[in-house]
Chain A
Amino acid sequence: MGNVMKRFRIISVVLVAVLIAFIFVVLHMNKNIGEDISSDMAYDKYTINFLDVFDTSTDITGFAASQNDFNKEANLIKEQLTYYNNLYDIYNDYDGLNNIKTINDNAGIQAVEVGPEIIDLLEFGKDMYDLTDGNVNIAMGSVLRIWHEYREYGIANPSNASLPELAELEAAKEHTDINKVIIDKEAMTVYLEDADMSLDVGSIAKGYAVQQVLEYCRNEGMNNILFSVGGNIAGLGGRVDGTNFKIAIQNPNLESADPYIERVEIEDGQCVVSSGDYQRYYEVDGKRYCHIINPDTLYPPETFAGVSILTDDSAKADALSTALFNMTLEEGQKFIESLDNVEAMWVYHDGTVAYSKHFKDYVID
């Protein structure tokens, strides 16, 4: 009897030990399995597309257990983007909202009270002006407006498309002094001293908004989201399986058999932005004139077909891609070298490509 009891006791001790060990193993294993299978199986990849913000096409890609779950997050993101779109709009008024257009409308008249989102954007614009030696100028609205009108007319009436006169552009250039954008951070107002000047934040607003929304999402506890707002791409986390997001960079030569010129991997918080002459442009006498205007020559730069930036701040990436588009390769390379954590790729019209020192570290072979 005693022997049997002893054996029972030993067996029960062993079993309890096994149970405890089992609990730990399961806990540990589950973590891995959980990540593993959530990527492959229960979490599907979803993308929504909408055309409502920044006059371009937006794709939000994420991973969720169901379409409903994904839509909840996507709608929050869309709401945020719409909010920034309205604030940074230069063409439309919104009820009860002072935006960039309000500031422009009051140029030379009065200071306009605005929210911190606009103050911060304009301060960032000034920083970028200094950083890029004037190659990115948010106070160039007067010049860009002329090009905008000629381009819109030229796209609608290709046979009558024409170029603005240099004299007209030079007259407008007189009203592009960024120092006349007076930002009063105490009173939270912005005033344009020159009545004929206007802000055009097109070179930074999309990227800036994407960066803000990405940070908003991070604070809300979201993860594994890829933002693509008119080709301003930024990743929050990576794919749900723990690997990096993979981004294709559009081939500026749209007729090429290969739609992508390069594929890159981006880590959490990194972004890719391209500027090029292939999306927004018009043609005069068979020659292409794109939407980016060099602040010095007042004409579209012709050196590159496209420039891409890979860095860790979408706003900066947006501004830098415009700046590089305006520079020569040598200037651009030197400029990029002087910055931390910024890589660039230049594509010429004949398809030849130049890279900054470490761009290729991100390229997928």
Chain B
Amino acid sequence: MSAATQATGAAPDRPPTNAERTEALEALLIERGFVTAADVDGIVERFRSDLGPMVGARMVAKAWLDPAYKQRLLDDPDSVLAELDVGTSQTEHLVVVENTPEVHNVVVCTLCSCYPWAVLGLPPAWYKDPAYRSRIVREPRAVLVEMGLDLDEGTEIRVWDSSAEVRYLVLPMPPDDDDQIGGLDVDELAELVSRDAMIGVARAGTR
């Protein structure tokens, strides 16, 4: 064992916790002068404040309101992304897939946990869980029911395994109740668009 794997403050009778490993590695990198605490805090701050599902939710809300924007989002999402100040963090090429009454889309990364950070922030715990990653390709209809989404029998399910560097965003259908969305602006509509709806495990306006 060498420095990075050994440098933990753990008691000798148990393996170090993840937090202990992380703190030890950070302290080592700072001590050796590779980074400063401010460098690390800067990365944390960026993920905490600049990225999150609100970026994707606003894209969806605008697409519901503006057919031309929606078409551009489906045809060339990279150009839409380039206009937003979200960088290309984990999202070098985005594809947007549209839900319709006939087709439901759902996203996974079976090999690790690839996720469109730039538009959705960091992935939820269940998305990274081996159970979701293995079962959503094998029995998506059953998994979606377990997660609270019961689709009509004839609805085709399209699972997208983001096994390369392409990242997927689901464009959910707007809530079918016109009274609920009529007259709302982009910000109000965006509140109806959950992270889960943009992964494809929920409907918009239901969580």
Q: Do A and B bind each other?
A: no
Interface positions of A (Cβ within 8 A of B): none
